[in-house]
Homo-oligomer: A and B are copies of this chain.
Amino acid sequence: MKTLRSIAAVLILVAAGHRSASAQDPLPSWNDGAAKKAIVDFVQTTTTQGSPKFVPTEERIATFDQDGTLWVEHPVYSQLVYCLDRVPALVKAKPELADVEPFKTVLSGDREAIARLPEEDLLKIAVATLSGMSVDDFTTEVKKWSAGARDPRWKRPYTELTYLPMREVLTYLRANGYKTYIVTGGGQDFVRTYSERVYGIPPEQVVGTAGATTYGYDKDGRPFLTKDAKLILNDNNAGKAEGIHLMIGRRPHAAFGNTAGDQQMLEYTGAGDGVRLMMLVLHDDAKREYAYGPATGLPDTKVGAFSQALYDEAKKKGWTVISMQKDWKQIFSFEK
């Protein structure tokens, strides 16, 4: 048998050699430039056997913010749209909420009034629509909603609004032994319903804002988990570094973000030894996507707080800023 297997091994090596000689560009949607070079250099330096900066496979961890880094976050997070869309069903189940703010305003359908709701009202809506049900019922609802909901600008499911260049980075890193994680301020249970299908990232590699659950039994004695209003992890800002420690227990070698909410994740990544890759997506493409933050001089939007201060820190620390306009040939896979 040894001979047969040796022949097979040789043939595979020949095949692999041939394949890599004619290797395709791993990042075809990227223009040549500092950002693309930073990614390719990082992968080659950390995965080439004998490189002084070689990283063993088991330590290859890369973390990605979701909203604004892997898909569109502007003008509102899709999860907030979900929460607002759930209010009618919530009020149907609890009619006493119909005359209580902020539910009353949401029910009125007055878009301008809804857009003016302060942060604490949005939090009330989030808690009311994201807790109190079983984990299974919640998953079913989100999947149903995701299949039907459409972004108003592109008239497509939100799950199609992912950035093709970033999906190429995910694939490229994974092909080189990196475990890719989403580390999101969004709800962990929410993102897990589609992360595998949309990004190839399994639920156990999604770290997000998470509430407690409570174990109980239904009338047939079958156990189930109920989603509680109690917050376990606020996965924003310092919470991203804390969440990475809680859920992964290793410091990432690469981290990608786009707002001040990702600052600590990038700092924490950069504080490790050896070569680390820290990148920020700059939204400077008003035509193909959106422009906000320091690219515009406009005040930060509620969701896109890529502040001038963060931009300055990136420059000082050598983090690489990705210009959507200059670095990305194509933004969405549905273009052309």
Chain A residues within 8 Å of B, Cβ to Cβ = 1, 4-5, 7-8, 11-12, 14-15, 18-19, 58, 61, 135, 179, 188-189, 192, 196, 202-204, 206, 210, 212-215, 222-225, 232-233, 238, 241-242, 245-250, 264, 267-268, 271
Q: How far is the CA of A213 from the CA of B247 in the complex (A)?
A: 12
Closest Cβ of chain B: how far from A16's Cβ, in Å?
9
Q: How far is the CA of A40 from the CA of B153 in the complex (A)?
A: 54
Shortest Cβ distance from A192 into B: residue: B249
B215 close to A268 (CB less than 8 A):
yes
Q: A204 contacts which of B212, B233, B241, B249 (Cβ < 8 Å)?
A: B249
- Known A-B contacts A15-B1, A214-B242; the reply to A188 vs B249 at CB < 8 A is yes
| In the complex, chain B residues whose CB is within 8 Å of the CB of A18 | 1, 4
| In the complex, chain B residues whose CB is within 8 Å of the CB of A206 | 249
Q: How far is the CA of A196 from the CA of B214 in the complex (A)?
A: 30
| In the complex, chain B residues whose CB is within 8 Å of the CB of A212 | 242
Q: A135 contacts which of B58, B203, B233, B245 (Cβ < 8 Å)?
A: B245
Shortest Cβ distance from A242 into B: residue: B213
| In the complex, chain B residues whose CB is within 8 Å of the CB of A246 | 188, 210, 213, 232
Q: How far is the CA of A248 from the CA of B248 in the complex (A)?
A: 11
Q: A4 contacts which of B4, B15, B214 (Cβ < 8 Å)?
A: B15
Closest Cβ of chain B: how far from A241's Cβ, in Å?
5
21 A-B residue pairings within 8 Å (CB atoms): A1-B15, A4-B15, A8-B11, A8-B12, A188-B246, A189-B249, A203-B249, A204-B247, A204-B249, A206-B249, A213-B246, A214-B242, A215-B238, A215-B241, A215-B264, A215-B268, A223-B267, A223-B271, A224-B271, A225-B245, A232-B246
